[in-house]
Amino acid sequence: CSNCGTTKTPLWRRAPNGDTICNACGLFLKARNAPRPVTDCNSSKDMTTAKQGRPLQCSNCGTRTTPLWRRDLESNIICNACGLYYRLHNAHRPITMKRTMIKRRKR
């Protein structure tokens, strides 16, 4: 990627100037009409472990397993459930709502 320097991505895109960019930088550019800050770019290894080498953990409920990691407005890493709750209610999800198993939807 000419923006963040990553070499792995599920989809390569083109920047307006013709440079090759990764999927994450392309989606950021499309949504915000601005280049993605390099500090936001993560390699595939960083998605499973924090920069200190520890596994990711939700800053709200403390879970370590989730189908998707998100960030809140303060850029804290939160799990999918806490992120969706935060978006809907504009408040952090209560710890009492935490479940031990992830329920899959049947479609």
pLDDT at residue 97, rounded to an integer: 81
Confidence (pLDDT) at 13: 92
| Segment 58-93, tens digit of pLDDT | 999 988 888 889 988 888 899 998 999 998 998 888
Please write the tens of the pLDDT for every residue from 32-67: 888 888 765 554 444 455 555 567 899 999 888 888
Residue ranges of domains in the chain, CATH in brackets? 1-43 (3.30.50.10), 45-98 (3.30.50.10)
How many percent of the chain have pLDDT more than 70?
A: 85
3-state secondary structure 41-105: CCCCCCCCECCCCCECCCCCCCCCCCCCEEECCCCCEEEHHHHHHHHHHCCCCCHHHCCCCCCCC
